[in-house]
Amino acid sequence: MRPSRLHAGHAFLIPWFVGFFGLTLGPALASLYLSFTNYDLLQAPGWVGLSNYVRILTADAKVAESVRVTLLYVVLSVPFKLGFALAVAMLLNQGMRGLPLYRALFYLPSLLGASVAIATLWRQVFSGDGLLNRVLALFGIQGASWVSDPDTAIYTLVALSVWQFGSPMIIFLAGLRQLPRDIYEAAALDGATAWYQFRHITIPLLTPVIFFNLVVQTIDAFKAFTPAFIISGGTGGPINATLFYTLYLYQEAFGYLRMGYAAALAWLLVLAIGAITAAAFLTARRWVHYEA
Amino acid sequence: MRHNKSILSHALLCAASLVMLYPLLWMLASSFRPNTDIFTSISLLPIPPDTAAYPRGWRGLQVPFSRFFLNSAVIAILSVIGNVLSCSLAAFAVTRLRFPGRDLCFALMLGTMMIPYQVTLIPQYILFLHLDWVNTILPLVVPKFLAADAFFIFLLAQFFRGIPRELDEAAVVDGCSPWRIYWNIMLPLSLPVLGTVAIFTFIFTWDDFFGPLVYLTDIEAFTVQLGLRGFLDSSGTSDWSAMFAMACLTLAPVLVLFVLFQRTLIQGIATTGLK
């Protein structure tokens, strides 16, 4: 090894070093500190010990509300999204003609879905006199006022998430193509039905991909923000029905300038996501089959 | 029987894609309709097409949308340059150079991928506020030049590992400096994956709503996403045609990239699990 190369390695990493210490590690530690203070940007942070955390966990009804909304969103959107993704991927994996076209069409919503334009469209489609109810009226069905009814508002967000099943679908499709064909041929010779093959060959062999999609989509669902913000006009309404945890955090930080409290909310979110990811990896040993 | 089954699959897939794309096509059609028709017409053909909503939406706020498009384009293009340069530099260092602490650095890069942005958000905001960067593009662009998107480092590192080492070893023997190996050998050989990084960076920054929402409060500095949201709040729900017209325009650049680079995008997702 030459000294000049030794030097170059560090030189190449200078931008990353600056970013890592200045934008990641430093701020992460700073937000940990702020979470034990009250800070409104105007006066210096005042140390309050654990009181932010105590209030979040015991005394803030809006936190409880936002956790309920967020969990409902995660628990409903992730399984439906992955279910659709797998079903369509299986259909497409039969060696169909026009596969690239279908794949592109199904993927398109995933690419556009995060934008304000689509969230806006959703707000119209699911309003009382919006597109969905117009279509339902053709069948003589009187639809609800989906977006402004606190009982249904969250389902419009779930629908928006499920609509974007394209990216896990592409990952499933790539996984399905890797499966060895000879196993299926042998199973068919032994008289295994299509369902039996799906249940006892496809699913077990696909568990690594299912696991990957599950973890990625769950973390993404916890971090969702824009659709709820646009559809509720930034309020999380009606009556907190779409108050995602991230939206509440945003309101506390930038609406009320309670930076310390919001930092504590952020750290609890990290702990929650970390715990769920860790749990997924721990249970994975029991149901994810990696090839020996 | 096999034939029938295939027809059935096609019918299913056609129906499903139609249902999925119907709202999008309807939005496009509605942008060419007068407001009075939006709540009554469910057809996909606006007859006769009425383009009045486009100029109305374009000037719907006190600042025209041209300003928002320009702001978004500047941020997206600078972000692309930043990500391509800074992430490839870091990826080159951790895959091709030997220096103490290299493996630790790579582990830290992977570690930062796991950290949700909410945790660094507030101190970053305070930092940029004190630097007087709020209402400028700097808080959105500078992090890209500091390899803050660790995911792309990982993606590039994977690709660099596949390039034969003999190439740069030969170059070292010929007296090439690491900089020249990086610039003249690695980057030209990595154009496909650099393209993936560039396209995804462009789309992510173009669609980003949260970053601009936090850092840009002056309407002159708004991106298209903020402009659209401002329009929705001010007159969108009373002028849906103009709202949809602007919504379609903000989607257009992403759609064009999608049509041009569909294969790259889909491969990027299939191999890495990107959005």
Structurally, chain B folds into a number of domains equal to 1
Looking at the DSSP bridge assignments, the partners of residue A38 are: A46
> Who among B21, B122, B209 is closest to A116 (CB)?
B209
Is residue B49 within 8 A of residue B32, CB to CB? The reply is yes
Q: What whole-number distance in Å separates Cα of residue A116 and Cα of residue B227?
A: 10
| pLDDT tens over chain B, length 275 residues | 567 778 888 898 999 999 999 999 999 999 999 988 888 888 888 888 889 999 999 998 999 999 999 999 999 999 999 999 999 999 999 999 888 888 999 999 988 887 888 899 999 999 999 999 999 999 999 999 999 988 899 999 989 998 898 888 888 888 888 899 999 999 999 998 999 999 999 999 999 999 999 999 999 999 999 999 999 888 767 889 999 999 999 999 999 999 999 888 888 888 776 66
Question: Which residues in chain B are contacts of A270 at CB distance < 8 A?
Answer: 115-116, 118-119
DSSP A239-279: TTTT--HHHHHHIIIIIS--HHHHHHHHHHHHHHHHHHHHH
CATH number of residue B155's parent domain:
1.10.3720.10
Question: Which residues in chain B are contacts of A102 at CB distance < 8 A?
Answer: 13, 17
Whether B43 is covered by a domain: the verdict is no
Q: What whole-number distance in Å separates Cα of residue B38 and Cα of residue A263?
A: 43
Question: Which residues in chain B are contacts of A20 at CB distance < 8 A?
Answer: 108, 112
Please say if the pLDDT value at position A3 is more than 70: no
Nearest CA in chain A to B99: A6
Nearest CA in chain A to B245: A117
Whether B187 is covered by a domain: the verdict is yes
CB contact under 8 A, A223 and B116: yes
Whether B38 is covered by a domain: the verdict is no
- ipTM of the prediction: 0.89
Quick: pLDDT tens for A89-143.
999 988 778 888 999 999 999 999 889 999 999 999 998 888 999 999 989 888 8
Whether B14 is covered by a domain: the verdict is no
The C-alpha R_g of chain B, in whole angstroms, comes to: 23
Residue B254's CB: how many other CB atoms inside 10 A? Answer: 20
Q: What whole-number distance in Å separates Cα of residue B266 and Cα of residue B258?
A: 10
CB crowding B179-211: b at 16 or more within 10 Å, else e: eebbeebbeebbeebbebbbbbbbbbbbbbbbb
Whether B34 is covered by a domain: the verdict is no
Range(s) of the domain holding residue B150: 70-272
What chain A holds in terms of domains, given with CATH numbers, is: 57-287 (1.10.3720.10)
Whether B8 is covered by a domain: the verdict is no
The amino acid sitting at B74 is V
Whether B61 is covered by a domain: the verdict is no
Residue A7's pLDDT is 66
- Which residue reads 């402004």 in tokens? A148
**Cα within 13 Å of Cα(B98), Cβ side:** 4
Nearest CA in chain B to A176: B270
Whether B121 is covered by a domain: the verdict is yes
